[in-house]
Amino acid sequence: MDCPICNYSVSPIVLRPLRYTICGACYEGARSLIALINKLYNNNNNDNGGSKVNHLTSSHQSSNKGFGNALKWVKEMTDAEEELNEKLRFLGGFVYAFKDHIHTDINVKPGDFGPSIPAHRALLAARSPIFKNMLESDSYITADHPPGGTITLAELNYEELQCLLEFLYNGNLSKEKVEKHVYALSIAADKYEIPYLQKFCENQMLRCLNLSNVLDVLEISDTCSNLILREEALNFIVRNMGEIIFLPSFEEFALKNPHLNVQVTRSLFLENKNTRNVI
């Protein structure tokens, strides 16, 4: 017969039937847990390549055998997480090299006349193809700050530049810095073609989308041509148009961005049309 939880065909085993039963919540929880294990297992195998079809099939079958494999899978995930954390700690040495100015060979200057920040040419070139081209072009290098010269990122102030460089070295930023500079970092990520930072900023803006920032997010999505952000921002505005239209910032937004205002109007019209059709 089939197990009612994992659907795997097994010989029936009854343990103390008069004493132990399972409630609906535990039943659904058990089914959900095993479904999650199966999904993670299959995703992990798919990421390893499509050539391992036989391994994929056997893994899927074995992962359906119940909580025994669920416990084993959780342990494997825990070990993998610890290994990843150790790797991150190992790579974190770049951050100390940045903060302590160890063997830096380039100065990066902000656009607000703030002080230059020492960095490493090799890391900048590895993180961004635009930086790589800049560092290879004599027109961007001066002899004012030997030995490596200076490049200027005119669109960033000192704090924004510091956050950008910290992210390039560390792959992360504190919550406070992200919240304060996410728009500037998103624009910089788009301009200098840093996909990981683009996705990082996108996720942050989507998590924190609200009435006070949705118009700014829509502007950023337009500047960076981010279709996911634009769609989410437009949907949020349409759902909350009754409140947003009376915000003091909405009139300024509409005057500053007439093309975006047109998009908002069209999205609102389509939503109202679809609602009437459903009714």
* Residue 267: CATH number of its domain: 1.25.40.420
Residue with tokens 């679809």: 274
Determine, yes or no, domain membership for 276: yes
* CA–CA gap between residue 36 and residue 32 (Å, rounded): 6
Determine, yes or no, domain membership for 70: yes
Determine, yes or no, domain membership for 44: yes
* CA–CA gap between residue 164 and residue 186 (Å, rounded): 10
| Span 246-268, average pLDDT | 91
* Beta-carbon contacts of residue 226 (< 8 Å; ≥ 6 apart): 186, 190, 198, 202, 220
> Tell me, what DSSP letter sits at residue 193?
T
| Span 82-101, average pLDDT | 78
* CA–CA gap between residue 188 and residue 66 (Å, rounded): 48
* CA–CA gap between residue 200 and residue 224 (Å, rounded): 14
Q: Give the pLDDT score at 238.
A: 92
Q: Are 114 and 125 in contact (CB under 8 A)?
A: no
Determine, yes or no, domain membership for 124: no
Q: Give the pLDDT score at 218.
A: 95
Q: Give the pLDDT score at 67.
A: 65
Q: Where are the alpha helices (DSSP H) in the chain?
A: 24-47, 53-63, 67-91, 93-99, 121-127, 129-135, 158-170, 175-191, 195-207, 214-223, 227-239, 241-244, 248-256, 258-278
| Span 132-150, average pLDDT | 66
Query: What value does the CA radius of gyration of the chain take, rounded to a whole number of Å?
Result: 26
Residue with tokens 């390893």: 48
Instruction: Tell me the pTM.
Output: 0.69
**In whole numbers, what is the pLDDT of the chain averaged over residues?**
81
Dump the DSSP string for 39-79: HHHHHHHHHT-TT-HHHHHHHHHHHTT-HHHHHHHHHHHHH
Domain boundary among 46, 69, 90: 90
What residues make up the domain containing 222? 209-279
C-alpha triplet 105, 109, 113: angle, nearest 5°? 145
- Side-chain-facing half-sphere of 209: CA atoms under 13 Å: 24
Q: Give the pLDDT score at 139.
A: 58
Q: Judging by beta carbons within 10 Å of its beta carbon (0-12, 13-18, 19+), is residue 106 exposed, middle or buried?
A: buried
Strands ordered across the beta sheet of 150-153: 117-119, 106-110, 150-153
Chain segment 27-40, per-residue pLDDT in tens: 788 778 777 777 77
Percent with pLDDT over 70 in the chain: 76
Determine, yes or no, domain membership for 279: yes
Q: Give the pLDDT score at 56.
A: 38
Domain boundary among 71, 90, 109: 90
Query: Residue 196: pLDDT band by 50, 70, 90 thresholds?
Result: very high
Q: Give the pLDDT score at 102.
A: 87
Determine, yes or no, domain membership for 68: yes
Q: Give the pLDDT score at 4.
A: 60
Q: Give the pLDDT score at 79.
A: 84
Q: Give the pLDDT score at 34.
A: 75
Q: Return the minimum-mean-pLDDT range out of 53-62, 137-146, 150-159, 263-272.
A: 53-62
Chain segment 70-81, per-residue pLDDT in tens: 677 778 888 888
Q: How many domains does the chain have?
A: 2
> 274 or 215: which carries more pLDDT confidence?
215
Q: Give the pLDDT score at 10.
A: 52
* CA–CA gap between residue 194 and residue 173 (Å, rounded): 15
Domain boundary among 90, 123, 146: 90
Determine, yes or no, domain membership for 255: yes
Determine, yes or no, domain membership for 204: no
| Span 241-257, average pLDDT | 91
Chain segment 46-60, per-residue pLDDT in tens: 665 544 434 434 444
